[in-house]
Amino acid sequence: MRADLAAEIRRLGAEGVTPGLAAVLVGDNPASATYVRMKGKACDEAGLYHETIRLSRDTTEGELLGLVERLNADHKIHGILVQLPLPKHIDTGHVLHRVSPAKDVDGFHPENVGKVSIGDATGFRPATPYGVQQLLVRSQIETKGSHAVIVGRSNIVGRPMAALLLQDGPGGNATVTVSHSRTRDMKSVTRLADILIVAIGKPEFITGDMIKPGAVVVDVGVNRVEDPSTKKGYRLVGDVKFAEAKEVAGAITPVPGGVGPMTITMLLYNTVQAARQWVKA
Ligand code: NAP
């Protein structure tokens, strides 16, 4: 996918356009800083222009909104991403709604949420569920007619994941169940899944006995768990107990290394799509 992207970036370059991404990081959350750094590195490798704007954690909402407005008007920038979570004194909704829908490569603006839910391809699909869908399509996993069970209903992963799997087209046409923290008897629900997608942020929550034999398991979770035997004192695990699950599943994504790199790739895709739509407009 990165190679396809590089070809499209060259085509845009021949038309005098370099797709540009601005990442805004407020505060010093170490995980957020790592994500932004990885996104910047991926932009460099792909040949995208990128800027990272780092703001202190006491930045006011007004200052952040002013920055978003400036980026909305900046012709070098086709995609804007505001790294979440934001500090508590800033209303995340206010900020995400101020990003121009044409530059909202995270797909969090209500206009894009609406477009994605009605299957309008000009809407930006949130990078993580978009990446999961591409993972399935490019691994030749049939979604059509399959029962996909999603665990988690966040606006970033679970809900848009359901919208994408429901669409009429490649990587869609699934029968979709969305479960969450109030779901009764979770095991009986997850065991129905031909495709089980887990995004809850609970380390190793899904155990082998919760998976139907042969099911495809996509683990979106990224959790730090203490591990004194490692240099950093922690290691990353998913929401699925991998060692057990892989014995039961037909296919499974690892953590780290599964959904994470796809998310970054899809963010670059969306930025290139934004630049392409800007050229056409
Ligand atoms: P979130 O906003 O905290 O939402 C978690 C969802 O999981 C909520 O819908 C919650 O249900 C549900 N949930 C929590 N505990 C549950 C339980 N015991 N049983 C069933 N459902 C439960 O999280 P998120 O932003 O979607 O992220 C989820 C995970 O994915 C995190 O580990 C995050 O780090 C990871 N993530 C990874 C990537 C990537 O690129 N790899 C990208 C985004 C997120 P309620 O709604 O009922 O509270």
- Going by CA atoms, what residue is nearest to atom 41 of ligand 1? 260
Residue tagged 């845009």 (tokens): 12
pLDDT at 281: 83
In-domain check, residue 190: yes
Domain limits at 65?
2-101
User: Are 60 and 172 within one domain?
Assistant: no
54 lies in the same domain as 137:
no
- Confirm whether 106 is a catalytic residue: yes
Percent of the chain with pLDDT over 90: 97
Q: Tell me: do 138 and 85 sit in the same domain.
A: no
Q: Is 39 among the residues known to form the active site? A: yes
Q: Which helix (H) or strand (E) holds 202?
A: none
86 and 179 assigned to the same domain:
no
- What does the pLDDT read at residue 25? 97
How far does residue 107's CA lie from ligand 1's centre (Å)? 17
Whether residues 208 and 131 fall in one domain: yes
Catalytic residue among 4, 41, 76, 106: 106
Partners of 219 in the beta sheet?
198
Residue 91 confidence class, pLDDT cut points 50, 70, 90: very high
Identify the residue with better confidence: 3 or 90: 90
Same domain, 249 and 132: yes
In a domain, 277, yes or no: no
Q: In total, how many domains does the chain have?
A: 2
What is the reported pLDDT for 146? 98
Q: Tell me: pLDDT of 31 over 90.
A: no
Residues 135, 246 within the same domain: yes
Mean per-residue pLDDT, 115-141: 97
**3-state class of 274 per DSSP?**
helix
**For 129-156, what is each residue's pLDDT tens digit?**
999 999 999 999 999 999 999 999 999 9
**pTM of the shown model:** 0.96
Task: Choose the final residue of a domain: 101, 136, 164.
Answer: 101
- Shared-domain flag, residues 132 and 256: yes
pLDDT (average), residues 8-32: 95
Q: Let me know if residue 239 belongs to a domain.
A: yes
| Pair 134, 247 in one domain | yes
- For residue 109, tell me if it sits in a domain: no
CA distances from 152 to 110, 159, 209, 222, 261 (A): 20, 8, 19, 13, 20
Mean pLDDT estimate for the chain = 96
Span 229-237, average pLDDT: 94
Residue 38 has what pLDDT?
93
In a domain, 221, yes or no: yes
CA distance 55 to 138: 38
CB 30 within 8 A of CB 37: no
**What's the CATH number where 247 sits?**
3.40.50.720
Residue 164, pLDDT above cutoff 90: yes
- 167 in active site: no
Residue 58 confidence (pLDDT): 97
Tell me if 179 is assigned to some domain.
yes
**What is the mean pLDDT of the segment spanning 86-109?**
97
What CATH number is given to the structural domain containing 30?
Answer: 3.40.50.10860
**35 & 156 share domain:** no
Residue 218: inside a domain: yes
User: How does residue 82 score in pLDDT terms, banded at 50, 70 and 90?
Assistant: very high
Residue 206 burial (CB count, 10 A):
25
Predicted confidence at residue 90, as pLDDT, reads: 98
Residues lining ligand 1, judged by CB closer than 6 Å?
A: 128, 151-154, 156-158, 180-183, 186, 199-202, 220-223, 259-260, 263
Asked whether residue 213 is assigned to any structural domain, the reply reads: yes
| Rounded distance between C-alpha atoms, residue 225 and residue 234, angstroms | 5
Q: Tell whether 136 and 231 lie within a shared domain.
A: yes
Indicate if 255 and 169 belong to the same structural domain: yes
The residue out of 101, 118, 151 marking a domain boundary is 101
| Per-residue pLDDT reduced to its tens digit, 192-226 | 999 999 999 999 999 999 999 999 999 999 999 99
